[in-house]
């Protein structure tokens, strides 16, 4: 897609700090560097996000994640890693080409954090079973 910045990066039309490349996947350091080593992993095939990603492309993309994550772990003195994917603007997707964030974690004070709110008091077992069955029907 010509107007997609990540497609242009993968095609070599825009420079990047390339971490990894093969025929299907491209990985590069995020310009924002939430933490040192923050890497984006993208499929070379354009897809807006996970909702539009063909299964074969997803398999190729996720197959490379452990390899790249372990290279980061061997290179940097990290203590952990967040692996994130945002889909659509409401979920903080800002570039609409599917991508996975690998965010090395060095401590709880390294500048990145997630806030999880539990809604378990508003969600009972009966509702959970009903919702699970509805989702499962769409997977058949």
Catalytic annotation present for 97: no
Q: Which of 97, 18, 91, 11 is nearest to 52 (CA)?
A: 97
Q: Which of 38, 97, 99, 101 is catalytic?
A: 99
3 is written with which tokens?
Answer: 């107007």
How many CA atoms, within 13 angstroms, populate the side-chain half-sphere of residue 1? 15
Give which of 50, 31, 33 is closest to 42, Cα–Cα.
50
Residues designated as active site: 99
């Amino acid at each position: 897609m010509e107007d997609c910045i990540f497609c242009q990066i993968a095609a070599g039309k825009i420079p990047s700090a390339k971490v990894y490349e093969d025929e299907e996947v491209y990985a590069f350091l995020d310009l924002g560097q939430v933490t040192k080593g923050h890497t984006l992993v993208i499929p070379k095939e354009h897809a807006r996000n996970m909702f539009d990603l063909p299964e074969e492309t997803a398999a190729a993309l996720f197959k490379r994640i452990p390899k790249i994550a372990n290279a980061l772990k061997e290179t940097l003195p990290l203590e952990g890693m967040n692996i994130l994917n945002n889909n659509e603007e409401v979920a903080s997707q800002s570039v609409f080409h599917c991508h996975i964030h690998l965010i090395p974690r060095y401590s709880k004070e390294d500048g990145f954090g997630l806030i999880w709110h539990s809604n378990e008091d508003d969600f009972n077992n009966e509702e959970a079973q009903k919702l699970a069955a509805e989702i499962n029907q769409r997977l058949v």
